[in-house]
Amino acid sequence: MHLNFEKGNGLIPVVIQDYQTLEVLMLGFMNEEALTKTQVEGKVTFFSRTKNRLWTKGEESGVFLHVREMFEDCDQDTLLIKVEVEGPVCHTGNRNCFKTSYNQNFIFQLENIVRHRMENPLPDSYVSGLKAKGIRKISQKVGEEAVETVIAALAETHTDFINESSDLLFHLLILLQEKHSNLLELALNLKNRDKTNIDQAVPSKE
């Protein structure tokens, strides 16, 4: 990376994003020393403007930001870090620091829940129970929910259609995990099959 710290008087803004849900969690600042420490340790360290020192997120709360990917912006004066985190990021106890009313990408969080239930079975868990019945039963449930979704789309209310579609997607998440796959693999496959080259479809106005 060749980040330009001079433009911000030695600091650059750093956007923290959940690597899986893509939810924006917080904004912080780094100097060169904080960046180096982050790269070496794999946990996000900021430069605190109020404390005037390096500050590793989680050093007090225990909720560390584990680095998965880092990207500099086109002007090389801002950093995006995708992280893995367990627990609320904001010091107020909220999931993120922006008080969004809901997790815009809850589907990815649900995928995590499904995976956890399949890897750590619980006696009263529907997911754990379905996994125990094997891939044939899981596949059968996906088929049943697909048929019910089609019926709802053709002959039932919008609410019924949404409910049945949700059931279908939920069971598909279980099947994906059983087949050692995930939503990310589907998204990448769809992107590779995209013939419109959507990343280049809209020209920049700058």
Return the pLDDT at 163.
97
Partnered with residue 53 across adjacent β-strands are 48
Return the pLDDT at 87.
86
Task: Compute CA distances 136 → 31, 75, 143, 166, 187, whole Å.
Answer: 54, 52, 11, 21, 25
Long-range contacts formed by 134-139: CB under 8 A, 24+ apart:
135/175, 135/178, 135/179, 138/171, 138/174, 138/175, 138/178, 139/175
Top CATH class, 106-193: mainly alpha
Return the pLDDT at 197.
66
* pLDDT average, residue stretch 51-63: 92
Closest CA to 11 of 26, 36, 27, 30: 30
Burial 142-164 (b: 16+ CB within 10 A, else e): beebbebbeebeeeeeeeebeeb
Confidence of residue 198 (pLDDT cuts 50, 70, 90): low
Provide CB contacts within 8 A for 49, sequence distance 6+.
Answer: 11, 29
* 7-48 residue pLDDT tens: 989 999 999 999 888 889 999 999 999 999 999 999 999 999
For the chain, domain boundaries: 6-84, 106-193
CATH superfamily of 6-84: Phosphoribosyl-AMP cyclohydrolase (3.10.20.810)
* 95-115 residue pLDDT tens: 889 887 766 678 888 998 999
Return the pLDDT at 79.
97
Return the pLDDT at 187.
87
